[in-house]
Amino acid sequence: MPHLRMILIALTLLAAACGGDGVATPTDTDTNTPDVDPDADTDTTPDADADPDLSLTLTGGEESPYVINETEGVLNFEAACAPEECVIARCTIGVANEAPRLLTSCDGTIELDTTLLDREGTWTLTAEAEFGLERKSASRTFEVLYAFEAGLEGLSPGESYTYSHPPELTPFCTRADTCTIEHRCEDESGTTIQCEDLAIPAAPSVTIVLTACATNTELEHCLAEQRYTFIYESPTWVDVSAGEQHTCGILDDGTLWCWGSNGDGRLGDGSSTPRSQPTRVAGDGVWTQVSAGGLHTCGIKDDGSLWCWGDNATNQVSTEPGNLARYSTPHRIGTNTNWSTVTTGSEHSCALQTDGALFCWGYNAYQQLGPGISTQGRVRINSSGTTIDTFVAVAAGDAHTCAVTAEGANGWCWGNYSSGQLNGGTSGDSAPRPVGLPVSGANYTTTTIAAGGAHSCAFVSSDFNPGMYCWGGGTHGGSGQVGHDDPPYVRGILNLSSINIITTGSEHTCAIAANEAYCWGDNSRGQLGFDLTFPTNAISTADPTLITAPREDWTAIAAGHEHTCGIAGGIMRCWGRNQVGQLGDPAVANQTSTPTPVAWPYTP
């Protein structure tokens, strides 16, 4: 016992010496759980003073391929790194198979324009970031294609277009020689039909399907399929002029067509072949007026330019030095763009400008060009001793000319006077002379004037004796073309007090009043548009007679040498002599008195 007591005292003293509280420390009998020092640091959170890791992000390029403007296109990317003290040290941009180029700046927004993206292809943008000794890089690979346009000139994809003659379709591609355009045609049921060189095949409705692709890129680059639909409709005519043996007309789309004799190229299609159906006058542009003369033709386009073609033996087409004897396609007259009206006689031409200046040129044996100063062979009409120098209307006859003055709206005529076609008188000279009352009266307004073979007509508006007046035709009145029984004097035409249009041929006259057409004079070739029944076998009449086939909707009419053409309801009809196809229908024999629709050459 003394020994045991001594051992316990010794253990107690040893525990006190080690800081114990005098209580025995129990023995850990759990061998599976490691002993934990109660004074050990158990916080596992990283030390705030330790260096963080470097991160780098590069965004953009997700919408590849990019189609950008070749000269103005821009792509934006974003480069960002962390922590805050990091820097984006450098960026490079490179295209496949070439060494990358260093960008001057790339922190934050990276803007790439076409000075960098200078070609189509696969590009790689690389950004490199630094933080202390750490380095990281990130890359984006994307494809670049240059935008381009292609299609049919002047037309919009997805639209429908009506046509009465095959349109001249011209494909275009802004990539010039590095583009292919292919097409196919479908009918209205969607069935593929044959079409070559963008020529519309014979079908009531045709859709041209166009595909355009770039050819100089490794990547496929094609535009979306384009569809253009064309629907045929009968032509709508808006203007007509009848010459000696040919006729010309303008459609509502501004195209100009002529038919009949093509001697000296008067049809303007580049040949001298006669045409019994309309043939399109060569060249482009929109025509607003046409005048068919003896062996030549003139017209005005919507830009105010003046053109003539056909026989030029007496300079009735062109007065320029070194001009040709004939022109088979339109020849521009000067450079002016202010022409408003043109008229052609047998061998001379006259035209008005918007400021009222009147010029005439061509054959002048009867002084039909009038007095005035000649400029480049064209006479600017200015009658000495008068104020006659500006005009609002003009008409050229076979060998005389008539015009309406801007001041007072009076009718004056000059040139050949032998049949009284100037003012009813058959003596005097060829100088300009007033037609006389009421056509040249102070209290009257002449609104329309026409000059034919050897007679003239005008419409006068006034509170007293308004109406249509004609004069000339010789002392016997020719074939009744003056419409009254007192030739060659200026007399009114009975029952025609409201006239829209007057036209004078060689020996017949026609007019439109309230959309109804009347003709009178020589009918030996059926040029009046009806058969005379009284007296028996009559071939002429001085009585204005209504055309009844059709009766209404006449909007234009033109009397030629021995034929007439007019427009009713947009349909062109011709009648009279047809020995060279001037009626426009090869089925008509030498002549007909029935207004016959022109045979349109394009009918799907």
Q: Pick the residue with more confidence: 320 or 497?
A: 320
Cα distances (Å, whole numbers) of residue 5 to 1, 8, 12:
6, 5, 11
pLDDT band at 271, cuts 50/70/90? very high
**Backbone CA torsion sign across 315, 318, 320, 326:** negative
What is d(CA 402, CA 393) in angstroms, rounded to the nearest whole number?
8
Q: How far apart are CA 553 and CA 572, in angstroms?
A: 12
Report residue 84: phi and psi, to 5°: -60, -30
State what percent of residues in the chain have pLDDT above 90: 80
Q: How far from 105 is each of 87, 91, 143, 411, CA to CA, in Å?
A: 12, 7, 22, 81
Mean of pLDDT values over 233-243: 97
User: How far is CA 260 from each of CA 130, 295, 346, 577, rounded to the nearest angstrom?
Assistant: 88, 11, 16, 11
- What's residue 474's pLDDT? 87
Quickly list DSSP for 33-77: SPP--TTS----SPPTTSPPPPEEEEE--TTPSEEE-TTT-EEEE
Q: What confidence tens digit (pLDDT) does each residue in 377-406 have?
A: 999 999 777 778 999 999 999 999 999 999
pLDDT recorded at residue 51: 65
Q: Cα separation of 275 and 271, whole Å?
A: 10
pTM of the model: 0.81
> Is-contact 555 512, C-beta < 8 A?
yes
Across the range 540-556, mean pLDDT stands at: 95
Three-state secondary-structure class, residue 211: strand
Per-residue pLDDT tens digits for 520-542: 999 999 999 999 987 777 899 99
Q: CA–CA separation, 487 vs 287, rounded Å?
A: 38
pLDDT of residue 15: 41
Q: Report whether 212 contacts 151 (CB < 8 A).
A: yes
Instruction: Tell me how many helices (H) and strands (E) the chain has.
Output: 1, 44
The single residue listed with the structure tokens 């380095």 is 135
* DSSP strand pairing (226-232 vs 160-163): parallel
Over the stretch 336-387, which tens digit does the pLDDT of each residue have? 999 999 999 999 999 999 999 999 999 999 999 999 999 889 999 997 777 7
Tokens of 267: 């049809």
